[in-house]
Structure 1
Amino acid sequence: MDYFMNITYLSLAGHVQLQEYRYVYFISTLSIYIFIICCNTVVIYVIVKNKRLHEPMYIFIAALLLNSLFGAVALYPKLLIDLLSEHQVISYQACMLQAFCIYSYATVEFAVLSTMAFDRYVSICKPLQYATLVNMHTVKKILLFSWFVPFCVNSTLMILTCRLQLCKLKMNRIYCNNYSIVKLSCGDITVNNSYGLFLLAIVVFPSLFFIVFSYIRILSVCLRNSKDFKRKAVQTCLPHILVVIIFSVLSCFEIINNRLEANISHIMTMIISVINLVIPPICNPIIYGMRMQEILNGIKIIFTIYKPRNYFPQPK
């Protein structure tokens, strides 16, 4: 049997001073994971339970936060186990699955953000046609497309990676991503690199282009309308703009980090590698929860219902 067929486990050697700060890392990571789950779940629950929020804009927000939970589940459970383990290893199959999930999280995020831009564009620039263009049937098809296409293109990426023969077992990361797996191979990776660029060209760049185009059109409409119209447009668009900027900038850092890893300090490499799975899942529910009044009201109601009550009468 070929030597490469016997490779079962890969070593995740990206942890920094794990022996000294093992429990600090674990508590910090667990706290972040719980916070991400709680924040995103609360906002999704508010949207699901409140029938007044069963509108396209809020459904897209729920889809975005659901994707944040998907990305968090792909990273944090395995990371928490590794922080308490003596040896940070992962099977090749599990590594491929984790890489697939994390890449899918990123590409779905761009796709959902572009659909949200479409929703804002139609509601502001074509309000009379909104009910026709963005009905619930259309929303379902758009969301299905936003998940199905990224899953398909990432499946192809993983299949191309699986055909490579590995000659190294040590990955200088704390989790698996496709580019790190490809660098472990000793064969020709031209096809993988070319397909990676193709993936950027058909998923990421079109999404960013459409978002920019939508907001240029929205800006042109706002400039021709009243101050009250501008205020309402800013109120609905600002959370989305902030989320897009945060995710896009962090994604650029990660892409650069992958390509220039040898020229960046190890600690910075590790921080940048996980930052896109830390900041957006935390910021997204906070931004939408604080900036969208209907969601904020729903959150307040939840905390009012579960607020501790004093059942003992006060002395007169």
Structure 2
Amino acid sequence: MINSTQVSYFILTAYLDNGPFQYLYFMVILSLYMLIVGSNVFLIVVICMNRSLHEPMYLFLCSLFVNELYGSTGLFPFLLLQILSDIHTVSKPFCFLQIFCVLSYGNVEFFNLAIMSYDRYLAICYPLQYNTRMTPNKIRILIAVTWLFSFLAIIALLSLSATLQLCGNIINKVYCGNYPIVKLACFDTRLNNIYGLIYTVISICIPLILIVYTYLKILRVCFSGSKQTRQKAVSTCTPHLVSLLNFSFGCYFQILQSRFDMSRVPNVLQIILSLYFLILQPLLNPIMYGMGMSKIRNACKQVFH
């Protein structure tokens, strides 16, 4: 056995033998990363430069686009280097840094989607009181709490994992994950499991309850309201719902791969499932919100013209 003092690096074993396709994979991943960076940065600039978009919904969107850049940057540069490398190893400090980026990205994303659903709930269910309920100070507090809570929760999670004595250093993924490291522990991980359960309840169940509650209220108003109210709800909620469902599927695939035996699943499919929420979400959100919301679409046209 090897203890935690001897584990200075981890070996990532999920990489395929690229062979002649090595540079093709590199170009595909690089193109995706450039597309993610370009589209999200463009929409952040559009929202910041256009005064008509300095409204709560678009400020929350700006926070969402910043998070897409943050999460993809925590993965793609590392992935590009690993594709070109013949030895897929990562140092222990960098491994935990990557876990911090990936997990905090997921946490911020889910909380951001939750406060966006709350914002839509106030706009549709209480349109006359919207400006008094969603004040600039409240917007700043919601965004700050979303990011700070996510960072602090992940720091606490990783501080428990970093002190574990490990009996191995092999991770069957293309990037570092907290649960695969916990599974390498030599001794009891009860404390990690308890905190993981508390973290799951706070970071997933509470936002999910808020999202379900707000959409039930929105549906109630839509069914009892006018045609104009229904059209407004559909136009503003559709991109959010698509983004929420896409991210939920990605998280489900991630949990499925981490918690259950996937040895019978082809390696290519395992890689796709593990990368789904880190690639599809940052790609989909700029398209959904940039093309699906008329004010952003018109602001983009003004920039091009």
In the TM superposition, what are the counterparts of 1:33-52 in structure 2 within 5 Å? 33-52=33-52
Q: Which residue is equivalent to 2:60? A: 60
Aligned to 2:175: 175
Q: Is the 8 A contact 1:290 1:296 kept in 2?
A: yes
Q: What is the rounded CA distance, in whole Å, between the counterparts of 2:295 and 2:20 in structure 1?
A: 46
5+ residue gaps, structure 2, are none
**Alignment size in residue pairs:** 303
Q: CA-to-partner distance for each residue in 1:99-136, whole Å, 9 max, x for gaps?
A: 01100000111101000011000111111221111111
Q: Secondary structure at the match of 1:47?
A: helix
What CA distance in whole angstroms lies between the structure 1 residues aligned with 2:279 and 2:3? 38
TM-score normalised by structure 1 residue count: 0.93
1:271 and 1:190 map into 2 onto residues whose CA distance is 31
2:92 is equivalent to residue 87 of structure 1: no
Map 1:1-316 → 2, pairs under 5 A: 4-265=4-265, 266-304=267-305
CA distance in 2, matches of 1:137, 1:153: 24
What percent identity do the matched residue pairs reach? 38
Per the alignment, do residues 214 and 105 of structure 1 end up closer, same or farther by CA in structure 2, a change over 3 Å counting?
same
Whole-Å Cα distance in 2 between the matches of residues 206 and 20 of structure 1? 47
Give the aligned residue type for 2:22: R
Deviation string 1:165-197 (CA, Å, 9 cap, x unpaired) is 112122111101111111222221222222222
Change (3 A) 1:194 1:262: farther
Return 146-155 or 53-62, whichever deviates more. 146-155
Query: Structure 1: where are the runs of 5+ without partners?
Result: 305-316
Partner Cα separation in structure 1 for residue 192 and residue 21 of structure 2: 37
The alpha carbon displacement at 1:159 in A equals 0.5
Supply the distance in 1 between the matched residues of 2:301 and 2:16 (Cα, whole angstroms).
41
CA contact (8 A) 2:3 2:165 kept: no
Displacement, 1:254? 1.0
User: What is the SS of the residue equivalent to 2:262?
Assistant: helix
d(CA) in 1 for partners of 2:92, 2:127: 51
C-alpha contact (below 8 Å) 1:261/1:269 kept by paired residues = no
| 1:297 shift after superposition | 1.3
Q: Say whether the 8 Å CA contact 1:60–1:116 is kept in structure 2.
A: yes
Q: Name the CA distance, whole Å, in 1 between partners of 2:264 and 2:163.
A: 30
Give the Cα separation in 2 of the matches to 1:4 and 1:152: 24
Q: Equivalents in 2 of 1:217, 1:197: separation in Å?
A: 29
Give secondary structure in 1 for the equivalent of 2:16. coil
Specify the SS of the correspondent of 2:5: helix
Contact 2:40/2:68, CA 8 A, preserved across alignment: yes
Q: Deviations over 1:248-295 (max 9, x none)?
A: 122112111111143442322211111110100000010000011111
Which secondary structure does the structure 1 equivalent of 2:157 belong to?
Answer: helix
Cα separation, 2, equivalents of 1:33 and 1:95: 20
Query: Residue 25 and residue 221 in structure 1: after superposition, are their counterparts in 2 closer, same or farther (change >3 A)?
Result: same
Distance 1:120 1:231 in 2: 13
Supply the distance in 1 between the matched residues of 2:260 and 2:68 (Cα, whole angstroms).
Answer: 27
Deviations 1:216-265 (A, max 9, x none): 00110111111111111111111111111111122112111111143442
